[in-house]
Amino acid sequence: MKVLKLTLGILCICLSVLIVFQSTMVGVGNSLQNNGEAGGSGGLMLSILVLTAGIVMIATRKSEGRGGSIAAMILYLLAALLGFSSAGSFADLKVYSTLCLILAGLNLVAAVFNHKPKKTERV
């Protein structure tokens, strides 16, 4: 699970850079068309959440507790909610939001099955 978290964390950081550039272009397009959509701004917020979740996954990959996986899962769920709610005609944002839901599910699996309880001493 450690290698998977490291790999997914690095991929999420790279993906967040792609989302930033694409959302910036969509935001410029929305401003020029004056269509009132917020897909570019929603994409920028989604990329910040994906970047943060990727960093959390990398930082907590060696921990034996559930906290890192739960924190990353919450960040991915917030990113998916934000992405779906602000997508508008920006169809790629729906794809990124679906990917965030998948990553949240993977973190849920990691939180449930990768927990090692502490050994207690007998007195």
Q: What pLDDT is stored for residue 31 in this prediction?
A: 84
Domain that holds residue 12: 2-113
- Residue 123, in any domain of the structure: no
**Sequential pLDDT tens for the chain (123 residues):** 788 889 999 999 999 999 999 999 988 888 888 888 878 888 999 999 999 999 999 999 888 888 899 999 999 999 999 999 988 787 889 999 999 999 999 999 988 887 666 677 666
b/e map 27-37, b = 16+ CB within 10 Å: beebeeeeeeb
Judge whether 28 lies within some domain.
yes
Tokens of 34: 């004056």
Residue 118 resides in a domain: no
Cβ neighbours of residue 116 closer than 8 Å, sequence gap 6 or more: 64
> Does residue 106 lie in a domain region?
yes
Judge whether 121 lies within some domain. no
pLDDT of residue 2: 84
Is residue 35 domain-resident?
yes
Q: Residue 103 domain-assigned? A: yes
Domain count, the chain: 1
Residue 39 contacts residue 30 (beta carbons within 8 Å): yes
**pLDDT of res. 17:** 95
Asked if residue 120 belongs to a domain, the reply is: no
